[in-house]
Chains A and B, each alone.
Chain A
Amino acid sequence: MLQNIIDRRLAGKNKSIGNRERFLRRYKDQVREAVQRAINGRSIRDIEKGEDIAIPKRDLSEPVFHHGQGGIRDVVHPGNREYVKGDRIERPQGGGGQGGRGNQASDDGEGEDDFVFSLSKEEFMQVFFEDLALPNLVKTALAEVPEWKSQRAGFSSDGTPNNLHVVRSMRGALGRRIALGASARREIKELEARLAELREQAGAGDAALTRDHAQEIEAIEARLAHLYGRMRGIPYLDPIDLRYRSRIKVPVPTTKAVMFCLMDVSGSMDEQRKELSKRFFILLYLFLTRHYDKIELVFIRHHTQAQEVTEDEFFHATETGGTVVSSALVLLDEIIQARYPTSEWNLYVAQASDGDNWHHDSSRCTEILENKVLPLVRYYAYVQVAQTEQNLWDEYLGLAERHKHFAMRKVLDPSQIYPVFRELFKKEGVDA
């Protein structure tokens, strides 16, 4: 009988998704720019968020032929208050005299506001990945949601029948019955006592008294009948008594990881090189978030001396002077020994530098890495954000040959970062 009423609510929503994609595609450049700005401004940890994108309205316009200002117009308006025929009034500013054509006003108006919309987290990451030229497999690996397992989490008042917890429900029902019946029961008790007393006295004789008592007994009996009725009216089991076993989803617990970010902050590292380095760190961080529950970040910056700092200081403070890379490695080793025993932590190191180093120091770096650091860490990635190869580069080249989990690469553009991690992702790709 309801054939002409159709429930479409479950039919596809998001029919506009194709149109939205086309829109984003068209404004790719603006979107990419906004995403880059956002990445530079964000902390490594909150990279995975959406972003508001603003596009100047003018760029979005769809031109059509229409009339411009000028010429002769006759327009009818409602709501005349004081005008009579022949009145002359001053021309309102901004062409306000032509209200009759609502759409024209908005079409003509030139870019008052930007067109602002939000990019979802997924779309944001998509653009970010595109910039880094990640292979598709890696994109999926990074975008993939971690595995979940379901776990007991107490009881809840709604659920499916198969999760019904009988004992809990009955206990609740009992409690409710006791609570709801308390006042009635108390009164019953008192009335019964009084009734017994009256009956006893009635047996003792005294006609007048007995008549009085008979009335009272009748009243009490009526009241008792009512109260028993009320007691019976309390439901044995009420929907609000039902308790269900509750299960929640928790990410599959994996072990902990710590990520060390090492960066040269000497005078030669300018903003642009730091931003490039930042993307390098972000990528490693993202990789780790897919595999570890708990990730700690340690930021070590160095020039001639190394120092452990906060993320903000790490990216935004500039120092001057020379460079001694080994100072950072020594500090790294100290921190590992003191705080991150390898039995509990998976260690990852990402180092960025422009390749400058005090020339006697480079061999010392190799030594520290080879003997102390590399045996402890899962992966060590090094990027040089400058073109010139210096002795540090040569020393590291030797290391890379001997150690498979030491990766290095020259990076001058975000799209060149990914290959540093190729080994890392490849290994995980096989595992997964």
Chain B
Amino acid sequence: MSAEPVVKPLPGPSDWTFELIHDYHQAIRATAEGYKLDTYPNQLEIITAEQMMDAYASVGMPVNYRHWSYGKEFIATEKNYRRGFMGLAYEIVINSNPCISYLMEENTMAMQALVIAHAAYGHNSFFKGNYLFRMWTDASSIIDYLVYAKNYVAACEERHGIDAVEELLDSCHALMNHGVDRYRRPGKLSLEKELARREEREAYLQQQVNDLWRTLPRRADRAGDEESVRRFPVEPQENLLYFIEKHAPLLEPWQREIVRIVRKVAQYFYPQRQTQVMNEGWATFWHYTLLNTMYDQGQLTDGIMLEWLQSHTNVVFQPPVGHRAYSGINPYALGFAMYTDLKRVCEHPTEEDRRWFPDFAGSAQGAAPGSHAWLKTLDYAMRNFKDESFVGQFLSPKVMRDFRFFAVHDDEDDPELEISAIHDESGYRALRESLSRQYDLGSREPNIQVWSVNLRGDRSLTLRHAQHNNRPLSDGTREVLKHVARLWGFAVHLESVDPQGDVRQHWTVVPAES
């Protein structure tokens, strides 16, 4: 495709037109094909700032069920935008097939080109390639599923009242982060299957729940014989929403379906939460690479280049700790630096790189200029990892030095903080390990599992929090437990257990009488 030797640069006015977007898109697509980027078909949609705010408010999806929290989000976004406190993101991209990218009307032509390269080729190829997305989400059915969810929730509101549905959704949202099987492969979403099986499932589920509880009276006469009572669940369950959907004694079928909807939506977003650095870094790396390639071929004017480079520079800016703008590590900056460095390691490795990455350091050395031999390594890195393992595998000493990373050890029992590692020879391994753990969702979010259900007595549910590094739960815990109790219908206990197995904190919440 990139065979044409002399190319006239694409016009570079600041206002875009449909023809120009089309032409740029064609050129970007040709360049992306030159790099063998594998993507879903693209659909570019031009939207207004207001529509962008709408999309923002419903977690970036074009349709979603209604809930007050999205209204709150919308009001906050709108207020900040109107007062000029924040700019809107230039783009939103949806992991669907075809992949939908929103281009905002206000963007200049240069920004539209940047967004197309970033979203429609960068993110898109990541969605299609990364193993987490392949495993957890089904791009072809998500929009259909959300439409179904929206209609189902609306129908429930009609039948059971807005309040009842709102309360239920509030409770489900509180557990949204605990609605995923982290270690088990889920079934993919499929609308037809969902619809076909819904009624069947509703009936079956209710029966299953009833079965579980029907054992009660028979067992009651053998009170005191604790040991012989079968333990339920047999093993601790990490997916709280799933457990509630299947086993909460008092939920009605429609309520179980809504729990399921929230759980499915949570599952859809689960890979995104685990691949921030990789995903944003990948998209940033590709808009940078594609647009630069096009410039080298003479397809872009200097004006266009300067404009998107300015924006690119802002995006990958990493303020140092202590800086006013510092709010943690910028995933765009880290991801972009890591992919760029990977490419460098393939092409121009140093002695250090050869020691650290013997598998692929120098793998692209001496390859023909147009062959992009480094693609193999980057493609492998993009497909088979999540943030945690990506950092663990590919963070090079050079990137650590460039970012001037240092690790701080904060022990509650120690009045002072300790610098446990810095970017030097003795610290690289520890730094990399520490940063990798930082991206592990398991250590970022409390590990809370269903421990047991009192089948014979008061039907109470016991959850267990396994403390990580002695870190306790926050003050809001009781509020969340109220939601759990509302869903469960009976008392809920939560024990926070330290690594030695001692219970350190304990909460009990009884559902409010309604």
Contact surface of A with B, Cβ cutoff 8 Å? 1-2, 4-9, 11, 13-16, 18-26, 60-81, 83-91, 97-102, 105, 107-108, 115-118
Chain B residues within an 8 Å CB radius of A86: 418-419
Residue pair B410, A72 in contact (C-beta under 8 Å): yes
Chain B contacts with A in 302-360, Cβ cutoff 8 A: 318-323, 326-329
> Interface-forming stretch among B67-75, B136-144, B204-212, B250-258?
B67-75
Chain B residues within an 8 Å CB radius of A77: 321, 329, 405-408
Residue pair A79, B319 in contact (C-beta under 8 Å): yes
Residue pair B417, A89 in contact (C-beta under 8 Å): yes
Q: Say yes or no: A79-B54 contact (C-beta < 8 A), given A23-B72, A71-B472.
A: no
Residue pair B177, A70 in contact (C-beta under 8 Å): no
Residue pair A74, B420 in contact (C-beta under 8 Å): yes
Residue pair A100, B328 in contact (C-beta under 8 Å): yes
Q: Can you report 13 A-B residue pairs in the complex whose CB atoms are below 8 A from each other?
A: A4-B25, A6-B43, A63-B480, A64-B174, A65-B473, A71-B470, A71-B472, A72-B411, A72-B470, A85-B422, A90-B416, A91-B415, A117-B75
Residue pair A20, B75 in contact (C-beta under 8 Å): yes
Taking A73-B408, A80-B406 as given, write out 7 further A-B residue pairs in contact, using a Cβ cutoff of 8 Å, ordered by the A residue number: A5-B45, A16-B74, A64-B480, A66-B446, A66-B476, A75-B407, A100-B329
Chain B contacts with A in 1-44, Cβ cutoff 8 A: 18, 21-22, 25, 41-44
Residue pair A25, B415 in contact (C-beta under 8 Å): no
Chain B residues within an 8 Å CB radius of A98: 410
A73 to chain B, nearest CB (A): 4
Identify which of A26, A61, A72, A89 contacts B68 (C-beta below 8 A).
A26
Chain A CB count within 10 A is highest, among B44, B68, B412, B423, for B68
B406 to chain A, nearest CB (A): 4
Q: How many residues from B make CB contacts under 8 Å with A?
A: 98
**How far, in angstroms, from A8 to B45 measured CA to CA in the complex?**
6
Residue pair B471, A71 in contact (C-beta under 8 Å): yes
Residue pair B434, A72 in contact (C-beta under 8 Å): no
Q: Say yes or no: A72-B409 contact (C-beta < 8 A), given A5-B44, A22-B68, A91-B415.
A: yes
Residue pair B472, A4 in contact (C-beta under 8 Å): no
Chain A CB count within 10 A is highest, among B166, B405, B417, B426, for B417
User: B514: CB under 8 A from chain A?
Assistant: no
Chain B contacts with A in 394-417, Cβ cutoff 8 A: 403-412, 415-417
| Nearest chain B residue, comparing its CB with the CB of A83 | B419
Q: Say yes or no: A19-B405 contact (C-beta < 8 A), given A63-B476, A75-B438.
A: no
| Nearest chain A residue, comparing its CB with the CB of B72 | A23
Residue pair A67, B416 in contact (C-beta under 8 Å): no
**How far, in angstroms, from A100 to B68 measured CA to CA in the complex?**
29
Q: B157-182: contact bitstring with A at CB < 8 Å (1 yes, 0 no)?
A: 00000100010001001111110000
Residue pair A26, B166 in contact (C-beta under 8 Å): yes
Q: Say yes or no: A99-B328 contact (C-beta < 8 A), given A19-B74, A65-B448.
A: yes
User: B421: CB under 8 A from chain A?
Assistant: yes
Residue pair A64, B476 in contact (C-beta under 8 Å): yes
User: B79: CB under 8 A from chain A?
Assistant: yes
User: B427: CB under 8 A from chain A?
Assistant: yes
Chain B residues within an 8 Å CB radius of A67: 445-446, 471-474
**How far, in angstroms, from A98 to B328 measured CA to CA in the complex?**
8
Identify which of A19, A60, A64, A108 contacts B66 (C-beta below 8 A).
A19
5 smallest A-B Cβ distances: which pairs?
A: A79-B320, A71-B471, A23-B71, A19-B71, A68-B474
Identify which of B54, B70, B405, B419 contacts A89 (C-beta below 8 A).
B419
User: B149: CB under 8 A from chain A?
Assistant: no
Residue pair A15, B51 in contact (C-beta under 8 Å): yes
Q: Say yes or no: A16-B70 contact (C-beta < 8 A), given A72-B411, A72-B412, A102-B328.
A: yes
| Nearest chain A residue, comparing its CB with the CB of B53 | A16
**How far, in angstroms, from A259 to B21 measured CA to CA in the complex?**
61
**How far, in angstroms, from A25 to B70 measured CA to CA in the complex?**
13
B323 to chain A, nearest CB (A): 7
Identify which of A14, A74, A85, A115 contacts B54 (C-beta below 8 A).
A14
Chain B residues within an 8 Å CB radius of A88: 416-419
| Nearest chain A residue, comparing its CB with the CB of B409 | A74
Q: Say yes or no: A16-B54 contact (C-beta < 8 A), given A2-B22, A23-B75, A78-B405.
A: yes
Identify which of B404, B406, B431, B472 contacts A70 (C-beta below 8 A).
B472
A156 to chain B, nearest CB (A): 25
Q: B461-488: contact bitstring with A at CB < 8 Å (1 yes, 0 no)?
A: 0000101111111111101100100000
Residue pair A76, B435 in contact (C-beta under 8 Å): yes
Residue pair B22, A75 in contact (C-beta under 8 Å): no
Chain B contacts with A in 69-92, Cβ cutoff 8 A: 69-76, 79
Residue pair A22, B418 in contact (C-beta under 8 Å): no
Identify which of A7, A19, A76, A79 contacts B323 (C-beta below 8 A).
A79
Identify which of A4, A6, A16 contacts B58 (C-beta below 8 A).
A16
Residue pair B71, A22 in contact (C-beta under 8 Å): yes
**How far, in angstroms, from A16 to B322 measured CA to CA in the complex?**
38
**How far, in angstroms, from A87 to B406 measured CA to CA in the complex?**
11
Identify which of A22, A72, A85, A116 contacts B424 (C-beta below 8 A).
A85
Chain B residues within an 8 Å CB radius of A62: 69, 170, 173-174
Residue pair B472, A8 in contact (C-beta under 8 Å): no
**How far, in angstroms, from A68 to B50 measured CA to CA in the complex?**
37
Chain A residues within an 8 Å CB radius of B444: 101
Q: Say yes or no: A76-B329 contact (C-beta < 8 A), given A6-B44, A85-B419.
A: yes
Q: Say yes or no: A102-B44 contact (C-beta < 8 A), given A9-B51, A86-B418.
A: no
Chain A residues within an 8 Å CB radius of B483: 63
B429 to chain A, nearest CB (A): 12
Chain A residues within an 8 Å CB radius of B73: 19
Chain B residues within an 8 Å CB radius of A101: 328, 444
Residue pair A72, B474 in contact (C-beta under 8 Å): no
**How far, in angstroms, from A23 to B66 measured CA to CA in the complex?**
10
User: B202: CB under 8 A from chain A?
Assistant: no
Residue pair A20, B43 in contact (C-beta under 8 Å): no
**How far, in angstroms, from A118 to B47 measured CA to CA in the complex?**
25
Residue pair A70, B471 in contact (C-beta under 8 Å): yes
| Nearest chain A residue, comparing its CB with the CB of B408 | A75
A145 to chain B, nearest CB (A): 23
Chain A residues within an 8 Å CB radius of B328: 99-102
Q: Say yes or no: A63-B412 contact (C-beta < 8 A), given A14-B54, A19-B58, A78-B321.
A: no
